[in-house]
Structure 1
Amino acid sequence: MNPIIHSIKNRANHRGWIMTQTWEHLLFAHWAIPPAVIRSMVPDALEIDTYEGSGWITIIPFMMSGVRLRCLPPVPFTTTFPEINVRTYVKVGGRSGIYFLSLDASNPWITAIARKWYRLPYFEASMNFQKCKGGIEIDSRRVKSTDQTERFSAAYQSCSDVFYAQQGTLEYWLTERYTLFCECTKTKRIYGANVYHMPWQLQNATVQIRENTLTEKQFSLEAPPSLTLYSRGVQSIVWPIQEVREEGCVVW
């Protein structure tokens, strides 16, 4: 049996997940940002989550693969594609999670469905993602932007042995998150969805960012990242999105 499915079955309330995805060759590029700067980019209903008083923005390029709905086979030519997430860290009703500022992907079918179904700010991008002898190379340009200024180009690789983040550390706080929150652009209501995967196997990483304008319209990330991590990847299980009530997001 697949290890993650076995782990799910050992949980008290494993029912209800609807999708599986595999995330591969991830770079976690983290920047410490004043919470006041992040506040203007996040809905008022979401509390900015901080670590030792600092807010954080993370850019994550990776390869998405194995996307399929539960009990259904993968759809040919739609399940493997590169993606770049820009996210920050929030809390709702005491539940810590992530809030996506943007998600760029090269699959127009996925971007359209995810925007409508999960209310996530997906954008179609022209992307080149390849494994090289020295690590990973990625180049991305958003194709339906009015001025096509949202670009990201970088090379990254691991530079340490594999480790698991220990609870209480910044690495754990940034990576071990299992709830996403989003806002419906029409109703302004807050929604949440839970995910599950095995703990991240992390490595320290080196990165050369050649161009990064993904956040340029809100603020500039000109300085090098405060922390960079790499992971070979995980298989994840995704639950359906649901509206967040006053008591917070229903969790499994």
Structure 2
Amino acid sequence: MHEAFSHITHRTAPLPDIPWIMAQTWSHVLFMHWPVNAVQLQRFLPEELTVDTYEGTAWIGLVTFQVQETKFRSLLPLQFLRPFPQLNIRTYVQHKGIPAVYFFSLDVTHLPSILGARTLYGLPFRKADMSFSSQTAYFFQSSCVTKEKREELDISYTPVSVGYIAEPGAFEHWTIERYALFTKRLNKLFLSCIHHTPWKLQEAKADIQFNTAASFLPRSLFIKEPIAHFADRKEAVFFPPQKA
């Protein structure tokens, strides 16, 4: 049994009764969140999903990290996969009482990940030019061209507090402690679950040099500094999608 299953009481969605199929290790994770009008955001979601809100406000999240390791169940890590950066644009939804994540896009440099995730999960992965480095701070750059639009993100970030586990009811618990995601393909809604131990978070400072990511939203939403959190490392296991 994977060591993550020694912690299950913290889950905010039911644990699937099917075997997990893949594990990934993420590092240097940055969560950035901005408030957005729930009605405005709802029109970008599949009709079956309802935008979730925290104290009446919906949130858009930009999450950057390094994928350090990928392995399939009962197999050794895929040694030919070097670490690669990833940028996820997401929001938070509810369906049949399950709090979950909905991804607008997931950008990576790694083509096999794009093909695999699109095929298995129906997730909107995109190919992007990206770079990541670590010095006195973490530096992340991404550029993705789609539908004649260029979405770019250029940031540096650093943790600024001691580590802690978010308490239920706190904003960071509501946004980050989610263990399900919904996708829609071929006019059918699917639920996919993940599992990992609770996030150990630190408050973070994000210095945004340039941001045209999430181009479907007004740029005025991103004028304010985001609420930012950092996590050093997390290993997660993935379950196959099921019809919701």
2:140 match = 138
Write the mapping of 1:1-252 to structure 2, written as runs, cut at 5 A: 3-4=3-4, 6-7=6-7, 16-78=19-81, 80-133=83-136, 135-142=137-144, 145-147=146-148, 149-184=150-185, 187-220=186-219, 221-244=221-244
Q: Which residue identity does 1:194 align to in structure 2? A: C
Q: What is the alpha-carbon distance in structure 2 between the residues aligned to residue 198 and residue 128 of structure 1?
A: 28
Partner-residue secondary structure (3-state), 2:128: strand
CA apart distance, 1:4: 2.1
1:210 Cα deviation from its structure 2 partner: 1.1
- Give yes or no for contact 1:86–1:102 (8 Å, CA) kept in 2: yes
Letter in 2 for 1:216: S
TM-score of the superposed pair, with normalisation by structure 1: 0.88
Partner deviation per Cα, 1:61-114 (whole Å, 9 max, x = no partner): 100122111011222332521100000000110000000011000101101111
Distance change (3 Å), C-alpha of 1:225 and 1:41:
farther
Rounded Cα–Cα distance in structure 2 between residues aligned with 1:81 and 1:207 = 20
- The structure that is strand-richer by fraction is 2
Unaligned runs of 5+ in 1: 245-252
- 2:32 touches 2:63 (CA, 8 Å); kept in 1? yes
Unaligned runs of 5+ in 2: none
Of the structure 1 ranges 197-206 and 209-218, higher mean CA displacement relative to structure 2 is found in 209-218
Q: What residue identity is the alignment partner of 2:88?
A: N
Indicate how the Cα distance of structure 1 residues 225 and 87 shifts in structure 2: closer, same or farther if over 3 A, else same: farther
Alpha carbons 2:34, 2:222 under 8 Å: kept: no
- Displacement of 1:146: 4.3
Q: Percent identity?
A: 32
Contact 1:67–1:80 under 8 Å retained in 2: no
**RMSD of Structure 2 on Structure 1 (CA):** 2.0
Contact persistence 1:48–1:91 (CA under 8 A): yes
Alpha-carbon distance change, 2 to 71 in structure 1, aligned in 2, over 3 angstroms: closer
The aligned amino acid for 1:233 is R
